[in-house]
């Protein structure tokens, strides 16, 4: 069932280590805490904490507050501890963009790969997308590895087009994608 903003009705998704549930206003403080960590924000705005009372007027990145219909909150299955969030933002009826942000203490544990895989699978099987894309700064090697490990293919590098250049932006932004047929071949 499609909502008025183009998002499909979201399901609760469970992986070995994560429960992804539709974001809700109660998640807002956890989302804001992510934006206060300079390392989490490094490849988004150069590592500056976002003033949650005013937002970021030139932000080209998502800052969820728990009211967005295409954002899932990620919590550990074992204890319900907040890990981060994932989104599958519809760009058109057949195309969506994958995004994610995790707490620094949860990096390097395969959680980004696990959550992103679950969301891509849902996007193809339940939402009917034909193609899912993801972008990051070319110098963000950790995020690029996640995209590659889940079966996404590098497509191109484009020049950085943000209002405020940040360290590494001179190398551009990379685009990755996976199609439904490719996903079926490498499905996890």
| More reliable by pLDDT, 5 or 181 | 181
Task: Report, as an integer, the average pLDDT of 87-104.
Answer: 90
| pLDDT at site 28 | 80
Task: Report, as an integer, the average pLDDT of 52-65.
Answer: 51
**Helix-strand-coil split of the chain, %, nearest 5:** 30, 30, 45
Reply yes or no on whether the pLDDT at 139 is more than 80.
yes
Q: How confident is the model at residue 103 (pLDDT cuts 50, 70, 90)?
A: confident
Token digits for 80? 């319900």
In 135-188, alpha helices (H): 141-149, 180-186
| pLDDT at site 49 | 62
Reply yes or no on whether the pLDDT at 55 is more than 70.
no
Rounded Cα distance, 166 and 71, in Å? 26
Long-range contacts formed by 103-112: CB under 8 A, 24+ apart: 103/33, 103/34, 103/37, 103/40, 104/37, 104/39, 104/40, 107/142, 109/17, 110/17, 111/17, 111/18, 111/74, 111/83, 111/84, 112/143, 112/146
Reply yes or no on whether the pLDDT at 120 is more than 60.
yes
């Amino acid at each position: 069932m499609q909502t008025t903003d183009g998002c499909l009705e979201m399901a609760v998704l469970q992986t070995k280590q994560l429960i992804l549930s539709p974001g809700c206003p109660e998640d807002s403080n956890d989302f804001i805490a992510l934006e206060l960590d300079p390392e989490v924000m490094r490849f988004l705005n150069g590592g500056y904490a976002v003033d949650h009372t005013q937002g970021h007027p030139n932000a080209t990145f998502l800052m969820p507050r728990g009211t967005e219909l295409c954002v899932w909150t990620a919590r550990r299955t074992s204890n319900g501890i907040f890990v981060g969030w994932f989104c599958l933002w519809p760009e058109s009826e057949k195309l969506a963009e994958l995004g994610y942000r995790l707490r620094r203490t949860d990096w390097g544990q395969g959680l980004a790969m696990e959550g992103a895989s679950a969301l891509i699978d849902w996007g193809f099987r339940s939402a009917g997308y034909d193609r899912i894309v993801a972008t990051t700064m070319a110098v963000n090697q950790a995020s690029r590895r996640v995209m590659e490990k889940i079966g996404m293919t590098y497509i191109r590098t484009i020049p950085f087009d943000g209002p405020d250049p940040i360290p590494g932006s001179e190398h551009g932004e990379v685009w990755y994608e996976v199609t439904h047929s490719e996903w079926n071949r490498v499905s996890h």
